[in-house]
Structure 1
């Protein structure tokens, strides 16, 4: 049995989609296991840019199958827009994509509540307003609508009617927002059934059977470790578990199936939206990282906050996820910096600490070491040995500091800009 998991190790936007596309060549099935359309996974193939919000990033490989796992919250309209766009590109996505019958569906009232709650808060979370949190809340409250329920129209109407009574009451009475009608919601679900009904299956059973047939499975996370609702910088987190536990819960696989956990890490660190960010650089270096790295959200378009590599953040991610290797992305963005900072620890209230705290992050100060940079352009480098010595020294330093082998390096957006470390 062979199952690999690719996990973001920072605050998301680490280049997971590019690396999933790279690792898909060795897989038979690629599975998204959590999150929703708040993710923006970008893959560049032959100079063409693809952005996926729900469809797994392995879909561009025409001989691979992809799965939307039970751990996602799925916007049916967004999904079909992505699928139909891929079909127009000549990719037979409908034949190669399966949707879990246990996945919860995001409906218009989830998005309306998401926006209304963010507007209501005095301290903003920085939500994407895609309805993610309210849909996960309905899952926990046992009022959600799952994909497998759309085939029994009478029961579906009953379930939607009950949900609407609660949601419309909240929208009107608490937030002074307009309600939704039963017809609006049923129209969306009816169209989804007609377009995607044949794609909806019991994916847990499908994945277990595939493992018995010695198929290789790759699990794709969204967001990153530091946005995990349990282990991240709460409350400035996503509404799901991007970490290893979420990979198992979101697919129905178990720990005995997993033989590899790949951490995807950017050579510097970024964050979108609100929340603590110990190594953020708000000066000219941060601006330079943002421009060089084109750090603007694929989903929201918001400029990302930028800063320096954080060793303790990666060490904590490695511990919680059980990382077996690291793939380092966007190394090329650091070209031209005379000195490159790396945070190797923290000080909290005057005392040095050697862990990533779960609270009072606003009180910690990073302890930096500075490394020599390099001037040579590396975006056309195609093997590790051709990197300048400064870049290789930087990778060596990070590997030793974090304690996990860096096995893959990426120096550009395309497939050809990724290589194994020598």
Structure 2
């Protein structure tokens, strides 16, 4: 059962991302109890898609709360690409969405063109051992932060004179290092196309939006109103707890979100886990429940499974209870929202993975190294009735309710919401006393 306000609620993806968190965050942001919506970590390697009528918004830095006029904050754990962020701001303004309520933490990492250049060079150098990175520069940017040599938004918002000195010094160091590490890198060519003027123009526009996040939140919370933390990507992409090394460079788990906020776990009211009724992932890495290619092609077409950021086709698999149990416990989830089962009536087969087989042994936990894990499946009853126009749980077909009950029962977490499509109205919110039963 979700607790009462005042709230600091946290949305976290329970799979490899692409669970539909953008639409969930958009719907939850409409609740007047939330005054602030924060994106705590990651960068424009992630994307949240929101539909308002026939308009599609692809958000990469900015949290979905901006679409409801909420205070929208880019948190301290983020990598901010100022060029990409400015493009995103301009797109929103052109669509009639004001961005005056957007703020950026001064502790966020500044992602520069050289990070993208190095990301591309690294991935190319890996050859057949590539990770499948989006090549947005996120990894190199976080590495600079860990090495304590990175730039932050506090540097970007500094005086023009001090910023120019820092930029000149850092650029010289980077050119020398990349030339030493990558024979194909030509410093003169990179310097010639470096966007000095564009960066300076953007710096002047964004400087007023940079705030001391802990102090900013303290003042706003004192004034009243809840906070919604909009996590990006998914738990299985966490650099420590995910399917390493095929992961992102940050911590898209609940505790990682708090790190990007500057608040402690005692401040959190509820952790809302979002999961898709099947599972997808992009890039490389283990994927025990991947479907046969014919079924995968059908799911990909029905679910429109192409990445918001990269446009790449997503690999599709059956729901993995081993992985989900791990993610739910890892994030201390108090409620779950299930998405993207609105087209399941078109399927002739529905399966779930209840355990793995590895080296002749059945295992029901997620090992650190998933190489060699094969899924043990259970077939689940399908349904033929569409669910799209359902407005309450009991409108759903019995077999559908049974499928949802299996999810809730297996994870030992109540379902608090259902998503039946991309539109804002395509949702069922469950009351605390309502249950999803067969």
Whether TM exceeds 0.5 here: the answer is yes
2:286 counterpart residue number: 276
Number of residues of Structure 1 aligned to a counterpart in Structure 2: 419
2:252 counterpart residue number: 242
Offset of residue 186 of structure 1: 4.2
1:22 counterpart residue number: 27
Pick one of 54, 58, 81 that aligns with 1:51: 58
Contact in 2 for aligned 1:338/1:372 (Cα 8 Å) = no
Closer/same/farther in 2, CA of residues 414 and 350 from structure 1, 3 Å limit:
same
Q: What is the root-mean-square deviation of aligned Cα atoms in Å?
A: 1.5
TM-score, reference length from structure 1: 0.96
Pick one of 79, 82, 96 that aligns with 1:90: 96
Contact in 2 for aligned 1:324/1:404 (Cα 8 Å) = yes
1:101 counterpart residue number: 106
Inter-partner Cα distance in structure 1 for 2:304 and 2:259: 33
Runs (4 or more) in structure 1 with deviation over 6 Å come to: none
Q: Which moved more, 1:280-289 or 1:7-16?
A: 280-289
Contact in 2 for aligned 1:2/1:211 (Cα 8 Å) = no
Which secondary structure state, in structure 1, belongs to the residue aligned with residue 258 of structure 2? helix
2:124 counterpart residue number: 119
The answer on 1:342 being equivalent to 2:363 is no
Inter-partner Cα distance in structure 2 for 1:188 and 1:104: 19
Structure 2 unaligned segments of length 5 or more: list them: 1-5
Contact in 1 for aligned 2:83/2:199 (Cα 8 Å) = no
2:320 counterpart residue number: 310
Which secondary structure state, in structure 1, belongs to the residue aligned with residue 354 of structure 2? strand
Inter-partner Cα distance in structure 2 for 1:134 and 1:80: 21
Structure 1 unaligned segments of length 5 or more: list them: none
Offset of residue 338 of structure 1: 2.8
Pick one of 346, 370, 373 that aligns with 1:364: 373
Offset of residue 292 of structure 1: 0.7
1:142 counterpart residue number: 148
Contact in 2 for aligned 1:161/1:182 (Cα 8 Å) = no
Offset of residue 187 of structure 1: 2.9
Pick one of 158, 177, 187 that aligns with 2:165: 158
The answer on 1:61 being equivalent to 2:68 is yes
Inter-partner Cα distance in structure 2 for 1:126 and 1:166: 27
Inter-partner Cα distance in structure 2 for 1:182 and 1:208: 44
1:207 counterpart residue number: 217
TM-score, reference length from structure 2: 0.93
Pick one of 407, 416, 419 that aligns with 1:407: 416
Inter-partner Cα distance in structure 2 for 1:302 and 1:132: 18
Contact in 2 for aligned 1:271/1:304 (Cα 8 Å) = yes
Pick one of 399, 407, 415 that aligns with 1:390: 399
Q: How does 1:149-228 map to 2 (within 5 A)?
A: 149-150=155-156, 151-175=158-182, 176-179=184-187, 180-181=190-191, 184=194, 186-228=196-238
Which secondary structure state, in structure 2, belongs to the residue aligned with residue 171 of structure 1? helix
Inter-partner Cα distance in structure 1 for 2:345 and 2:186: 51
Which secondary structure state, in structure 1, belongs to the residue aligned with residue 50 of structure 2? strand
Which secondary structure state, in structure 2, belongs to the residue aligned with residue 270 of structure 1? strand
Inter-partner Cα distance in structure 2 for 1:107 and 1:397: 46
Offset of residue 193 of structure 1: 2.0
